[in-house]
Each structure stands twice: as structure tokens, then as C-alpha cells.
Amino acid sequence: MRTTQPKTIRLSEYTVPAHLVDTVDLRFELFDDGARVHSTLSVRHNPDSAETAAPLTLDGDSLKLERVALNGKDLAAGEYEETGEQLIIAGVPDRFELTVVTWIEPQNNTRLEGLYKSSGMFCTQCEAEGFRCITYFPDRPDVMARYRTRIEADKASCPVLLSNGNAVERGDLENGRHFVTWEDPFPKPSYLFGLVAGDLVEQRDSFTTGSGRDIDLRIYVEPRNAEKCDHALASLKRAMRWDEENYGREYDLDIFMIVAVDDFNMGAMENKGLNIFNSSCVLASQDTATDLAFERIESIVAHEYFHNWSGNRVTCRDWFQLSLKEGFTVFRDSTFSADMGSPTVKRIEDATLLRTAQFAEDAGPMAHPVRPAAYMEISNFYTLTIYEKGAEVVRMIHTLLGPELFRKGSDLYFERHDGQAVTTDDFVKAMEDASGRDLSQYRLWYEQAGTPQLTVSDSHDSEQGVYRLTIEQTIPDTPGQTDKKPQHIPFALGLLGANGEALPLIQDGSSDAESAPLEQVLELTEARHTFEFHGLPGRPVPSLLRHFSAPVRVIYPWSRDQLVFLMSHDPDGFNRWDAGQRLAVDVIQSLVGASEGTEIEPRLVEAYRALLGDSTLDQALVAKMLQLPSEAYLIELADSPDVAAIHHAREQVLQHLATSLREELIACYHRNSVAGNYELTPESIARRSLRNTALSWLLVINDETGRDLAVQQFQEADNMTDRMGALRALVNSDYAAERSKALEEFYAHFQDDPQVVEQWFSVQASSDRAGQLPQVNALLEHPAFDWKNPNKIRSVVGVFAGQNLAAFHNPDGSGYAFLADKVCRLDDSNPQIAARLVTPLTRWKKFAPAYGSLMRESLEQIRDKSGLSADLYEVVHKSLGS
Ligand code: 0A1
Ligand code: ZN
């Protein structure tokens, strides 16, 4: 904990490590009151380093050093220096063996970095800089070593002892203790080290690789969760096959293990051969997990598995390159999920996240490029920009090169850099070398922060039959970056005729209507382009940025007629959905601050009526199209948003739609009530989604039929999606008695299942009816709430501040003061979580001054707390501009 300014680390100051480590021999003695870690490193001077006489410098954090020995000889106090953050030994030989013994206290580790205890089990989290909380080590990803790990613990309380690689030895020790030794043959950076010790049961399966090797698959969980592993195991096998078929990547060890832990700062971690997961991202059963959770688990299991190549076999040179592994791996898991379900729906989900949350990040005080140039605390850079925008940057290379050349590029990348720690530039270079394309301008996507804005205008010459489209590109200033250069942007375009037909894109007169494409990816490289399309006697309707072909904002003066037309005619499903969203946004925006009784666009009602009534349409897409733009998205789109006014306008539209479409909603509800067993197919997921949307709309208008249906569905549901759909609808209605009864019954039934209790907290904390501040405070006092458990904290405090926007932005500032108070409290126990939770306050400059000034005051309160962590220091000071 510090009060002084943490050091800024800069990419421009990167130097190769002065020392390399070839092997790491670890021995963990695990006890109830602490752990002793014996580490023996074979160290040599790095021939690529110019610092020939550099002292050996090892990182350490919160360690009690018990012994240091060089080539077997103990060093006396004066022969090394301990600074609090480093262990420095001067005058070391060219090659030597170093032994370090440290004492740590996993049972008191509330930061959940390094080795800690969760529900009685020992587990580790070493990315990004957690290994230094275990032992002194050059804790940077470009130091790659082979690890051998012996774990010793009490046999009764820790029958299962796991680490990376293959188990090579096991046996009993005195005093009821035992040991297992693991050996990982693949050199890896310290952030991929993993260890688990506890009383766990295993679920086993196997997978035969394309080359015929049998891989042992195991999921380790607490005994009460033994029945919740099937979905993750099935997802894992699908991911393994998919990576072979799509990237030619086979698994490389003989065993692949996943462990579920309840206390975890993030979603999951890709430790080599031993993935550690937040329980909520791996455990599922029909009774306890929603469809959304099932989909999320599949994608996270795949994500961590895909890291075995994109991250582990080829890793990052330094943490500025984080998106090298994260952006690429998110692109890979997103393509996988699209292949497993509906590509259009997956694209809609990805674009929604980008446009709502990543664009907001890119416009806020923490905006940074996909490859940042500086940071104080790397944990703050596990962001939507690194992950989601990073994935878009890889996706655009795929779009520009096409699937064959992209695959050639990824093959070259994996072959060329296997076993190395490399940079995003190496990735782009492999794509260039494989395709022969020049991506030098494209590299700006990695260097420049901010969301490009494309302003599109058009004109039509009916005599010449020419349609002209002009696209102007600007990239807004972001902290520390101004005067940005135009980026290389793939812009997918289609043109529609009056009857909705796709028109041939004849660009230069040389191609004729027969050979001209119906869709084209225009490549924008200049600040302004004009494209001409010929053979168009009537004015076409443009379908812009199809499939969301680039993470940019598009400004175009769509008329409501055009949007209604695109909603029902665009052959690109993504743009149909987008047109519906734009129409709804336009209607809601026009009501913000308008006088009561202002007419609500009848074309919106009719478009939704058509959607509800047409069972021939892809129902998964209809389910998405029925979702009104979220408050968060409306806020993101607004300048100086007045949250209460936006909330009110959106509610008005929702109520108007629900009132006008009541009959259709009831019909839609019944039409989608499927008898029979619960299935996880895209069709049944879509049906449940439609049914639950219909229910929630009916309860927005306090409809009695809707209420009865919700109560009945709640009681009869045979799966969590339906049970939660009904509960959510009741919680968001004015039927207070039914709401309380359902909440009580739900809790009574599921109180022993932490993942379900988290959902129960969330549904309340996100509700503008059940989640006002006094009720949220009451949730914090609930016996199931636990200030040490990140999932519980997120499900109440995080959900309240991030999803219950009208309550959080209460004009009296109480929501902001609440968050500031909780963030300060958490900073002492878990700085990573504190720094993430504070995010909503950091956007204070965007809001109307009445909100913004109160938000700033709360941030200042946090700034003035004594002993601020480096994590929180960086976020708060950058947000305040200090
Ligand atoms: N590499 C993981 C994310 C992760 C990052 C940091 C963690 O601890 C603070 C944990 C996990 C992934 O991308 O899934
Ligand atoms: Zn990842």
C-alpha cells in the first residue's frame, strides 16, 4: 500500500532481461498457518543483454525471506539487498544456481494474487505479477523456464495436489502428509505457473487428437459440485476439435485439467495444463445456470483452452503486448461461439459490448491503445480495449486478407514463434509475410487510442444512374494523444433497391451487373474517400458497415423510413438488427426532455408488431431485435446525458410498446412455451428468450395476465432460465407481494448454492424497483454476502453501479457516495477489485454537470484516502486528470 505516486512503466524503456532462467525447481510445504517455498533456479547471463556486469535482480512482494544460497552456499545479510520489491545480488557469475526460501501466508491473502486459500483449498493466480508473491523471481513474461514442482501437504485436508504438466512422482510423508511432483516440459513464463491443493473430486473424460494421441481431461471441483461439470467437459472437447480443424492446433500435454474455485478476481486463467476457473464460469446444471451462463461457460472454457497456443506456446514479450494473446484469443473464441450457435446473434452480442462499454472506455480518462505505451499497474489494463477491441483488430485482418491467407498467416505465426515471447508487431509481420500485403498503416490500430468516427454522406444522380458515397474519418483526441492519422478500415457495404433487392455494386464502369458483387469491403485509408456506384437509376438505400466490419462509429442521416425498410429487408441480419436499434434510439432520444404526451413513433410499434407476429423469421434474431437499446448504450450515445431523463424516456417507450402490443405479447408467450425436455439448442434458447422478453414487457405495464403467467412460470420452471426470467419480471414489476414471495422462495431453495445466490443478489441490485440504495445496503448485510468474495461484491456493488443506472445516478449523489465508500473499504483487502469497481465514477466528465460534479467529489474522496493501492491510485488520478 502506498501514498506516493507509483512508478510509470514505459514500452519505450523496454530492455531485454540481463539474466535468463532455464529451470525452476520448486518445493511447496503447505501448512494451515502458512507455506514455505523452496525455489532453486538455474540462472545464466543473457547473451543478448549488453549489461554484462548487471546484478541479479529478482521481483518479490510480501515475502518473508528465510534463506538465499548461491551455488549451494548461503549468502550472508550483506551479500544481497532486499528493497521491499526486489532482491538484488551483485557480482554474480555467468552461470549459477540460486536457492531462495520464502515464507508466505496464503490464509491471509485477501488480494487473491499469488498463493491463497479459497473455501479451504490452496490455489494460485500468477498473471500478471502474482508469482512474485510466492517467491523471488524475474517475474516478467520474457523469462521462460522449465518448471518442476513438488507439493507437500496434509493428506486428509489436501488429498489432491496439482500443478502444471505431468505428475511424475507421488508418495507419503511423515505426520499424515504426502507429496506429488509435477514436471512441465514446456518452457513458460512465471505468470502461467499454477498450483492447487485441496479436498476435491474429479470428473474425467478423454479426447483423441487428430494425430491419435489420447488426452486425459479432468475437472476438479468441491464434492457438492460434482454434478455440474458435464457442460464444461463437453465444451472443452468441442473447443479442442475446433482448434484442430480451424487452426491446425493440437493439444500438447497428456493431461488437461480445470479447477473451479469460488474466490477469483477474474473469469478464469490459462495456466499451462492446469486452467483455474472462477466457479461461476465453469459449473452449470439445468437447474442452476441460465442459457446465458451455459453460453458464457462454453466460450470461456474455449478461450482458456485456445490460450494453450495463443498465449502459452507463443507468449508475450512484455505486458504492453497483452493484446497479442488476449485480442487474438478473444477473436478465436468468438469465432468458435459463432460456429457453435448463430453467427449473427454472436456478432450482435460482440458489437453491443463494443459499442456500449468499449467505446465508453475509449472516450474516457483511461483510454489506451490496444498496445498501451505506459502503465502504472498492469492489472488495470485487462480491459475491453485489450480484449474486445484487440479481437476486432485481429478480425479486421481476417476480413482484409480473407480466410485462406489469414490461416496461412496464423500458421506462420505459430511456427515462427513457437516457444518465444513476442510482440503484436511480430503477429502483424507474420500476417504480412504470409499474405504479401502491406499492413504498415494498419499497425495504427495498435498504436492509436480512440474510436474512429466515420461520417457518411451520399448523393444520387438519377440521370447518370450514379450513386456517390463519401466517407470521412476522424479519430478523437484521447489522453496524451492528439492529431491522429487516418487508419486502415475495412468497410462492408451493400445497396438495396426499392423492393429490398440487393443491387450489384458496379464501381468503375468496367464490371457489369452480372459480375459485380452484391456486397463489398471498401478499404478506407484516407481521411476522406468518395466511392461511385453505377447503373443505379433509382436512389438506393445503403447498408453501411455490414457485420460491424470495423469497431467504429458511423454517422449517417438515416430517415425513419429507411430504418424501417432496412429492418425488414437488409439481407445482412446484423444490419437488420442495427436498423431496429437505431430507430429505437432515435425514438427514445426524441422523447428525452420532451413534454409528457408527445406521440411515440407509430412505425416503431408496427415494426415490433411485425417482428412479434412473424414466426418465419430466425427467432434468435427476433429475440435480439426485441431488446430495446440499453440505458448504458443510450447514455454512451448522449452528450452530457441526463440519466433520469433517459431512463424516463426509455420507460415510456417500453410501456407504450407493451401496451400497444399486449395481445401479440401474450400470443408470443404461448407460442414459445415448449413442452418437453430442456434443450440447449439455438432454437430452444431463442424460444425461452422470446418468452421471457414477452413476460418482462407485460409486467412493465403491470398486466395481470402477465403477473399470473410469471407466477406460474416461476413455480413450474424446470430450468434456471425460465425461473430467473419469471423472477426478474416480477422483481421489475410493481407487484410487491409477488416479488417478495418469489425472492424468498428462491433464496430458501437455493441458499446453499453460491453461484445461484449471486444471481439472486444481481437480480435485485439491478432493479430500479427492488434495488434502491436502502435495499442494496440491506443486501450487503445479508448473511450470504461476503466482503472477501469478488463474485458477491460484483453481484451487489458492481451490478448496482453498472446496471441499475437510474438508482446509481440518483441526483442526490447518494449512489456515488455509496460506491466511493465501498471502493475505499475494498482497497485495503483487494485492490484489483477496488480499481475495477470504481470505473462508473471515472466517467464523470461525460455527464451533465449536476451529475458530473457529484461524481468528481466522490472520486476526490477516494483520492484522499490514506494508503491508496497502486491499482486505485492510477485509475483515480488519471480520472481526475491529476
Ligand atoms: N488471462 C486470463 C485473464 C486473467 C488475468 C488476470 C488474472 O488475475 C488477476 C486472472 C485472469 C484470461 O484472459 O482469461
Ligand atoms: Zn485470455
Integer Cα distance of 65 and 315 in angstroms: 30
In ligand 1, the atom with minimum distance to the C-alpha of 304 is 14
Is any atom of ligand 1 closer than 6 Å to the C-beta of 269? yes
Task: Based on the residue annotation, tell me whether 447 is a catalytic residue of this protein.
Answer: no
Is any atom of ligand 1 closer than 6 Å to the C-beta of 753? no
Q: Are strands 177-188 and 145-154 parallel, antiparallel or unpaired?
A: antiparallel
Mean of the per-residue pLDDT values for the chain? 97
Query: Ligand 2 centre from 725 Cα, in Å?
Result: 30
Q: Which of 149, 63, 112 lies closest to 269, judged by CA?
A: 112
String of DSSP letters for 136-166: -B--STT--EEEEEEEEEETTT--EEEESSE
In ligand 1, the atom with minimum distance to the C-alpha of 326 is 13
Protein residue closest via CA to atom 12 of ligand 1: 269
pLDDT of 763 over the 80 cut: yes
Contacts of 749 (CB under 8 A, 6+ apart): none
485 burial (CB, 10 Å; 0-12 / 13-18 / 19+) is exposed
Query: Ligand 2 centre from 449 Cα, in Å?
Result: 21
Is any atom of ligand 1 closer than 6 Å to the C-beta of 118? no
Is any atom of ligand 1 closer than 6 Å to the C-beta of 268? yes
Q: Which of 159, 196, 162 lies closest to 176, judged by CA?
A: 159
Protein residue closest via CA to atom 5 of ligand 1: 127
Is any atom of ligand 1 closer than 6 Å to the C-beta of 242? no
Contacts of 288 (CB under 8 A, 6+ apart): 228, 720, 750, 753, 755, 756
Contacts of 335 (CB under 8 A, 6+ apart): 246
Owner of C-alpha cell 499451462: 272
pLDDT band per the 50, 70, 90 thresholds, residue 512:
confident
pLDDT band per the 50, 70, 90 thresholds, residue 1:
very low
Q: What single-letter amino acid sits at 844?
A: W
| Buried residues in 594-622 as b, exposed as e (16+ CB within 10 A) | eeeeeebbeebbebbeebbeeeeebbbbb
Is any atom of ligand 1 closer than 6 Å to the C-beta of 543? no
Integer Cα distance of 341 and 354 in angstroms: 20
Q: Which of 150, 268, 364, 332 lies closest to 840, judged by CA?
A: 364
- Our mutation pick for probing the ligand 1 site, out of 261, 332, 375, 382, counting the most ligand atoms within 8 A of Cβ, is 382
In ligand 1, the atom with minimum distance to the C-alpha of 268 is 14
Integer Cα distance of 460 and 469 in angstroms: 9
> pLDDT (tens digit, 9 = 90+) per residue, 146-184?
999 999 999 999 999 999 999 999 999 999 999 999 999
Is any atom of ligand 1 closer than 6 Å to the C-beta of 266? yes
pLDDT band per the 50, 70, 90 thresholds, residue 509:
low
Protein residue closest via CA to atom 8 of ligand 1: 127
Q: Which residue among the candidates 152, 295, 298, 304 is catalytic per the annotation?
A: 304
Mean pLDDT value across residues 372-376: 98
Question: Cα angle vertex 410, ends 373, 526, to 5°?
Answer: 55
Is any atom of ligand 1 closer than 6 Å to the C-beta of 80? no
Q: What single-letter amino acid sits at 1?
A: M
Is any atom of ligand 1 closer than 6 Å to the C-beta of 291? no
13 burial (CB, 10 Å; 0-12 / 13-18 / 19+) is exposed
Percent of the chain with pLDDT over 90: 97
How many of the other CB atoms lie within 10 Å of CB of 785? 17
- Our mutation pick for probing the ligand 1 site, out of 109, 269, 301, counting the most ligand atoms within 8 A of Cβ, is 269
Q: Alpha helix (H) ranges present in 614-676? A: 619-625, 631-637, 643-660, 662-671
Is any atom of ligand 1 closer than 6 Å to the C-beta of 126? no
How many of the other CB atoms lie within 10 Å of CB of 459? 11
Lowest model confidence (mean pLDDT) among 89-98, 297-306, 611-620 = 611-620
Q: Three cell numbers at 59? A: 521481483
Mean pLDDT value across residues 662-686: 93
Query: In what helix (H) or strand (E) does residue 67 lie, and over which residues does it extend?
Result: strand 64-70
pLDDT of 675 over the 90 cut: no
In ligand 1, the atom with minimum distance to the C-alpha of 128 is 6
Q: Three cell numbers at 730? A: 416480477
Strands (E), 111-252: 114-118, 121-125, 145-154, 160-163, 166-172, 177-188, 195-198, 201-208, 214-221
- pLDDT given for residue 221 in this prediction: 98
Q: Which ligand is nearest to the CA of 301?
A: 1
Can you say whether residue 86 is alpha, beta or left, with left for phi > 0 and alpha for psi between -120 and 50 degrees?
beta
The single-letter DSSP state of residue 849 is: H
The model carries a pTM of 0.98
SS3 839: helix
Mean pLDDT value across residues 288-312: 99
What are the residues facing 444 on neighbouring strands? none
> Is residue 16 within 8 Å of residue 142, measured between CB atoms?
yes
Is any atom of ligand 1 closer than 6 Å to the C-beta of 380? no
Protein residue closest via CA to atom 6 of ligand 1: 127
Contacts of 619 (CB under 8 A, 6+ apart): 672, 683, 686, 687, 690
Long-range contacts of 357-361 (CB under 8 A, 24+ apart): 357/384, 357/632, 358/384, 358/385, 358/388, 358/389, 358/451, 358/551, 359/451, 359/551, 359/553, 359/636, 360/632, 360/636, 360/843, 360/846, 361/385
pLDDT of 865 over the 50 cut: yes
Protein residue closest via CA to atom 13 of ligand 1: 326
Query: Ligand 1 centre from 316 Cα, in Å?
Result: 14
- pLDDT given for residue 508 in this prediction: 81
> pLDDT (tens digit, 9 = 90+) per residue, 538-589?
999 999 999 999 999 999 999 999 999 999 999 999 999 999 999 999 999 9
- pLDDT given for residue 534 in this prediction: 96
Mean pLDDT value across residues 381-389: 99
Integer Cα distance of 280 and 216 in angstroms: 23
Q: Which ligand is nearest to the CA of 116?
A: 1
> pLDDT (tens digit, 9 = 90+) per residue, 424-469?
999 999 999 999 999 999 999 999 999 999 999 999 999 999 999 9
Query: Ligand 2 centre from 311 Cα, in Å?
Result: 8
- Our mutation pick for probing the ligand 1 site, out of 125, 127, 308, counting the most ligand atoms within 8 A of Cβ, is 127
The CA distances from residue 317 to 11, 427, 442, 682, 712, in Å, are 11, 12, 21, 40, 56
- pLDDT given for residue 3 in this prediction: 54
- What crossing angle do the helices spanning 390-401 and 424-435 adopt, rounded to 10°? 10
pLDDT of 266 over the 50 cut: yes
Q: Three cell numbers at 745? A: 422462495
Q: Which of 558, 540, 554, 544 lies closest to 459, judged by CA?
A: 540
Q: Are strands 502-503 and 56-59 parallel, antiparallel or unpaired?
A: unpaired
Protein residue closest via CA to atom 11 of ligand 1: 269
- pLDDT given for residue 733 in this prediction: 96
- How many CA within 13 A on the CB side of residue 626? 30
Dihedral sign, Cα of residue 875, residue 876, residue 880, residue 881: negative
Mean pLDDT value across residues 236-252: 99
SS3 205: strand
